[in-house]
Amino acid sequence: EDQVTQSPEALRLQEGESSSLNCSYTVSGLRGLFWYRQDPGKGPEFLFTLYSAGEEKEKERLKATLTKKESFLHITAPKPEDSATYLCAVLSGSNYQLIWGAGTKLIIKP
């Protein structure tokens, strides 16, 4: 069964304190792994797509990496405005539907 698990559920960091969020997945034929950012009461905002193990993508303070079993979203020297829920989703090759994790709520304190 296709499944996505994100950890931790919540993460509190001080401004400038770097860390990583994890997305573990089990899927039949990965067709892509996606990272989104979601602010409270709003729709997810697209961040990255990764397609194959070893691939990396960067955007400002965020860097996403992919292995055969998991993806990491590394955040370097975060700022309070990086506070949000970060969602991971995989596109299954068996039914071409996005399977979502429950997200990691990131709080950056000034």
Partner 1 sequence: DAGVTQSPTHLIKTRGQQVTLRCSPKSGHDTVSWYQQALGQGPQFIFQYYEEEERQRGNFPDRFSGHQFPNYSSELNVNALLLGDSALYLCASSLEGSREQYFGPGTRLTVT
Residues making contact with partner 1 (CB under 8 A): 4, 31-32, 34, 36, 41-46, 49, 87, 89, 91, 95-98, 100-103
Cβ at position 16, least distance to partner 1 in Å? 28
State the minimum distance, in angstroms, from the CB of residue 73 to partner 1: 15
Distance of CA 92 to the CA centre of its chain: 16
Nearer to partner 1, 21 or 89 (CB): 89
* Contact (Cβ atoms closer than 8 angstroms) between residue 33 and residue 23: yes
All residues at 6 or more sequence positions from 99 whose CB lies less than 8 Å from its CB, including other chains = 2, 3, 4, 25, 27, 89, 90, 91, 92
Shortest CB 110 distance to partner 1, Å: 25
Nearer to partner 1 by C-beta: 45 or 58?
Answer: 45
